[in-house]
Amino acid sequence: MESSAAVAVQPEAPISTTELAYERTTMAWIRTAISLISFGFTIYKFFDLFKKEEAAPHGIFGPRRLALSMIGLGLFSLVAAVAQRWSDNRRIPGARSIRHSLATIVAALVGLIGVMTFITVVFRQ
C-alpha cells in the first residue's frame, strides 16, 4: 500500500559557477587570515620565549605590536571577505543563502580563534 501522505520534494537548483567562484575566493581569504593570525602569534611567542627580564625596549613597534597588527589584519581581512561575499551573493539571481556556505562556517570558526588569540596577546604581558 502506498502512503496517503505523499511528501512533495522539490529538486534543489544546481550551484552556479559564479557561486563556486565566490566560495573559492572566500576560502582563499580564509587561508590568508589563518596565515596572518598564526604568523602574528608565532612572532609574539618566539620573542616572548627569548625575552630577558632586563631586555631593552623594542622601540615604538616591537614584537608584541607587530603580532597584534598581524592578528588584527588577519581578522579584518576575514570580516571584509565575508562582508564582500555577502554583498556579492545578494547580486546573484537565485543564489543560495550565504549562511548555508561551508566557507562562511569555517570563516566564523577561524574568526573566533583569531579573536581569542588577539585577546590572549593583548592581556598577556
Predicted model pTM: 0.77
By residue count, the chain amounts to 125
Q: Give me the chain's average pLDDT, please.
A: 83
CA–CA separation, 34 vs 48, rounded Å? Answer: 21
pLDDT in tens, 59-95: 677 888 899 999 999 999 999 999 998 888 888 877 7
Q: Answer for the pair 43, 66: CB distance below 8 angstroms, yes or no.
A: yes
The cell 627569548 sits on which residue? 50
